[in-house]
Amino acid sequence: MRDVRRYPGARIFTALFFLWLYLPILVVIAYSFNENRLASVWTGFSLRWYESALHNRALLDAVQISLTVAGIATAIATTVALMAALVLVRGRDVRLRRLSETVVNLPLLLPEIVLAVAVLILFSQIGLQNGLLKLVIAHSAFCIPFAFLPIRARLQGMEPDFEEAAQDLYASPWVTFRRVTLPLIAPGVFAGAMLAFVISMDDFITSNLLNSGGSTTLPVYIFGLIKQGTTPELNAISTLIVLGSLILATTALVLTFRNPNRA
């Protein structure tokens, strides 16, 4: 009997769709092993562009700045988001609950370029000069909703029974949070932090507009390289970034969806 839920061609379509999704990334990886100085002329297999990328001082500086900004912004955004999620999901009779939820998610409601322009003007008005500090402030703000959503989802999916039991056994609110709530929502907190970190590492629009000497992040540096033209070294750098993202994404997913009963 024919399965009425199957659509002819839908599977082939999906296979082609996945091919389209991955082909561009595979092309970049393949071209990074090209020995020739011209990115579009293939002459042979070589790892020399990886070597030159790993010795590129400006690239390493950009990586360091990106990691610093993303690390601090993730810590701030995750802490703020965790506190807000605890109040909004667990708190009773919270005043302005709906409005507060909108406020936390505000950066998702506007195109990033508008937010970037807004902080640029703000920083120029208050005369803030430190490039790194500007990036940390802006990144912390727009990372908050990305940290908030997974934490809220985890809290909402969890019955408050364990927390109530702890309270009944005279645990203080802090001990309850530390010993009961936090271990239980840890995967959500971790997923939120990971998402915030990736969003910050990946940011181009805000970092580019706020860019000043000494605060060039990795995407802004790569943007500069692309404007100079495609080179095999650029392909090697891109491949390394792809590799880094895949490791990060896989770790995040494995840790998030690991069997909670074994944790």
Q: Which is nearer to other proteins, 54 or 122 (CB)?
A: 122
For 252, residues 6+ apart whose C-beta sits below 8 A from its C-beta are 190, 191, 194, 195
Q: Which is nearer to other proteins, 13 or 165 (CB)?
A: 13
219 binds other proteins (CB under 8 A): yes
Q: What is the 3-state secondary structure (H, E, C) of 16-77?
A: HHHHHHHHHHHHHHHHCCECCCCCCCCCCECCHHHHHHHCCHHHHHHHHHHHHHHHHHHHHH
127 binds other proteins (CB under 8 A): no
3-state secondary structure of 34: strand
- Choice from 57, 114, 127, 157 touching other proteins (CB under 8 A): 114
14 binds other proteins (CB under 8 A): yes
Q: Which is nearer to other proteins, 158 or 225 (CB)?
A: 225
Q: Which is nearer to other proteins, 117 or 165 (CB)?
A: 117
Q: What span, in angstroms and rounded, lies between the C-alpha atoms of 224 and 212?
A: 13
- Choice from 70, 72, 73, 115 touching other proteins (CB under 8 A): 115
261 binds other proteins (CB under 8 A): no
> What residues between 38 and 67 interact with other proteins by CB under 8 A?
39-40
Q: Which is nearer to other proteins, 184 or 209 (CB)?
A: 209
Q: What span, in angstroms and rounded, lies between the C-alpha atoms of 64 and 61?
A: 5
For 143, residues 6+ apart whose C-beta sits below 8 A from its C-beta are 73, 74, 76, 77, 196, 199, 200
- Residue 103's region, left for phi above 0, alpha for psi from -120 to 50, else beta, is alpha
CB 188, CB 156: distance < 8 Å: no
**Which amino acid belongs to residue 66?**
S
> What residues between 172 and 211 interact with other proteins by CB under 8 A?
173, 198, 201-202, 204-205, 208-209
Q: Which two tokens stand for residue 201?
A: 């590492």
- Choice from 249, 258, 260, 263 touching other proteins (CB under 8 A): 249
Binding track over 222-241 against other proteins, x by CB under 8 A:
xx--x---x---xx--x--x
Q: Least distance to other proteins from the beta carbon of 179, Å?
A: 17
Binding track over 153-172 against other proteins, x by CB under 8 A:
--------------------
